Amino acid sequence: MLRHWLKTRPARRDEARHNPQAEARLGEHLRLLSFNIQVGISTRRYHHYLTRSWQHLLPHRERAANLQQIAALLGDFDLVALQEVDGGSLRSGYINQVEHLAQLAGFPWWYQQLNRNLGPFAQHSNGLLSRLQPQQLEDHPLPGPRGRGAIFARFGQGHDALLVVVMHLALGARTRARQLAYIRERLEDHRHCVLMGDMNTHATELLEHSPLRDLGLIAPQACATYPSWQPQRCIDHILLSPELTLERMQVIDLPVSDHLPVAVDIRLPGALQPPLPLCSP
C-alpha cells in the first residue's frame, strides 16, 4: 500500500481551482511571496524538532491559530508560493491547507501539488495562490527520490507572458543539481520568469554554479530566512529574469514556521497589466 502511495507521477497539465467568492484585484505591480509554512507547526528552537515532532503526525490546536496568522500576511500579496503544506490528512484535521489559506486570504485561484501521498497520515504538498488566472498550469514531479515537485504556471500570452515556477528542492547537492537541470530545460523559450520556493541552497550557488547560471537571473534578497528564530542561512528565494523590474524586496519577520517568508514587488510585463480580465465570468 505504501508503495502505491509513493508512486511517481508523470508531468501533467492541470487547472487552478477557482474560489468564486474571492475578489480579484491587481495593479501594474505584482506582489510575490514565498513561504515554507512547515504545515503550520511553530518551531522556535532546535530542540522543538524533537519535542514537537509528533505534530507532523497528529493535529494540534495551535496549528489553526498559526494558519490564521499566515493568512493575514498572505492577503497583502498577489501571487504566493507555499511549501510544506498539507493537502488534508489527520495532522491537519483533514483540512486542505492550500484551499483553506486561499479562502482565508481571499484568493480567487489556487492549486495544490501533491508530492508525497501518505494517505490519511500526511499529504505533503506545494501550493500556489493567485489573484491572476493562469493561462496554463503544469504539475511536475522532480528527479531524485520521490516527494519533490515543481508547479509551472503561465500568465498571459506571447512574448510578454510571465512564467512562475514554484518549487521545493532537495537537501542533497547532487539531487538538487538534477532538479535544477530539469527546471532549466523548461525555461528555454520564456523571457519573463520567476522562480520561487525553498531551494535549500544559497543564491551564489544557484546563480553561479547551478544549471541556472546562464540565465542571468537576479536574486534580490540577501537576508537569511532559516532558522526563523535566529536566521543564518539564505535558502528561500524569489529569482527574477533580468527583464523584470524589481520595486522592493524583504524578508518578513513572522516566525510561525521554521522558515521566514520572503517577498518582492515587481512591475508587470506590459501584456499582463490591467485592464486584462483577472477571472472568468
205-257 pLDDT, tens digit per residue, is: 999 999 999 999 999 877 899 998 999 999 999 999 999 999 999 999 998 99
Mean pLDDT of the chain: 87
The angle subtended at Cα 126 by Cα 53 and Cα 90, nearest 5°, is: 45
- Name the residue among 159, 137, 155 with its Cα closest to residue 243: 159
Cis bond leading into 211, ω under 30°?
Answer: no
Each residue of 52-91: pLDDT tens digit?
654 566 667 788 999 999 999 999 999 999 999 999 998 8
- Name the residue among 119, 83, 87 with its Cα closest to residue 100: 87
Residue 157's pLDDT is 85
Residue 22's pLDDT is 79
- Name the residue among 154, 168, 143, 150 with its Cα closest to residue 113: 150
**CA-CA distance, 247 to 265, in Å (whole number)?**
5
Residue 189's pLDDT is 80
Domains contained in the chain, CATH given: 2-13+27-272 (3.60.10.10)
Query: Would you say residue 1 has pLDDT above 50?
Result: no
Query: Would you say residue 152 has pLDDT above 80?
Result: yes
Residue 58's pLDDT is 60
Q: pLDDT higher for 267 or 175?
A: 175
Looking up cell 510571465, which residue turns up? Answer: 162
Query: From the CA atom positions of the chain, what is the Rg in Å?
Result: 18
Considering the chain, what percentage of its residues have pLDDT values greater than 90? 65
